[in-house]
Amino acid sequence: MANKKQDSGFSFYIPIVLIVAFMLGCLSVSLVSVRENVMQITFSGSVSASDVSKNQVNVRKSRVVEDSGLKYRMVSASDLHIRKEAEIKKTDTALNESEEAMTSLTDGLSSADLEEDTHDGGDSSSEPVSSEPVVSEEQEEFHLELPNDHYINFTPHKEGYVAYLTFDDGPSIYTKDILDVLDYYNAKATFFVIYHKEMEDDYKAIVDRGHTIALHTYTHKYDKIYRSETAFFNEIERIQNYIYRLTGTRSRIIRFPGGSSNTVSRHYCEGIMDKLKKSVIARGYTYHDWNVDSCDAEHYNLDPDKLLENVKKDLTKYRKPDILMHDAGESKRTTVEALPMIIEYIYSQGYSMEGLQLDSYAVHHDW
């Protein structure tokens, strides 16, 4: 009789134990699914697969672009970092919510009930739920932090199509930001520099990062530069020697302030530009104008989208476009903001990007 009562009491717990086991199993499967869904990040086309230090490069995420049957998208280093943090936060939230639900289900059961669940009604084959996020090998690669994360361009370069990004009037407070963006995209550019006090590290950084440093006179003051040929070459030699002392590079690439077709110079010396265009060549220099203008010199901080449109307007007219931009501090902040979009567009049209060399194709306005 006592055994029947004991069996009856034990039978009372069997449905409870089975229900608890069933619910724990469902929650375990659901939790694993949540982890997998949260931790999975899908990349459209091609992106850089790792991030750099926080906020090092702050560039916009582009739309998916299709060109010649290939799709690509750039995701910025800072955006990858934000996304990574957001996904981890979502994972932690999901884990906490699931753990709270499991706790609430077991709160009404005694320790004896749970013990009986383990020995009699539980599924002993079930794996314990880990509190650590599930990270696949592919996801682990995404978390790698590399010092030089590069944009991957999947649009094939057209043979002979080379774009020259050029920045006048620097260096400035934004030079290193420009260099960071260029490095991120694995693009090279040319900096036509003048003298700026206490900017020695920026001149060096231009050369050290593999870009071309070129001459834009020492002062950029028209009344001094264009008084005479002698005055002009004094300015050129002065900035040339200054750059050489800092970087060990003796540049012979020139851009005339205002370009070779400027009309301002005639106010200081009639016919000076015709003389200079001949004499710079005779002295072993080469000069470069531009055939694509971002128009960032026309207004302070022109809207980045407008700067992009200005480049788009003329870029594809040329196999070797020379693109005029400025590295001139606070008044040209939006040039830096537009640069990622401009580079993406240039790549999408099949151009490579190189720094100007002494024997590079030279755009002249008098053609």
Could you give the percent of the chain with pLDDT greater than 70?
A: 62
Which residues, in sequence order, are CB contacts of 175 under 8 Å at separation 6+? 191, 199, 202, 205, 206, 327
DSSP state of 352: E
pLDDT(49) > 60: no
For the chain, the C-alpha Rg in angstroms (whole number) is: 32
Report the run of H or E that residue 222 belongs to, with start and end: helix 222-225
- pLDDT confidence tier of residue 104, bands split at 50, 70 and 90: low
Could you give the percent of the chain with pLDDT greater than 90?
A: 56
State the burial class of residue 89 (Cβ atoms within 10 Å of its Cβ: 0-12, 13-18, 19+). exposed
User: pLDDT: is 132 or 37 the higher one?
Assistant: 37
pLDDT of the residue at 207: 98
- Residues facing 70 on adjacent strands: 67
Tell me the domain boundaries of the chain.
Answer: 2-143, 162-353
Give, rounded to a whole angstrom, the gap between the first and last alpha carbons of the chain. Answer: 115
pLDDT in tens, 106-158: 454 444 443 443 333 333 333 333 333 333 333 333 222 333 457 878 789 99
pLDDT(56) > 80: no
- The fold of the 162-353 domain, in CATH, is TIM Barrel (3.20.20)
User: pLDDT: is 18 or 169 the higher one?
Assistant: 169
pLDDT in tens, 324-366: 999 999 999 999 999 999 999 999 999 999 999 999 999 999 8
Which residues, in sequence order, are CB contacts of 186 under 8 Å at separation 6+? 150, 151, 153
pLDDT in tens, 191-243: 999 999 999 999 999 999 999 999 999 999 999 999 999 999 999 999 999 99
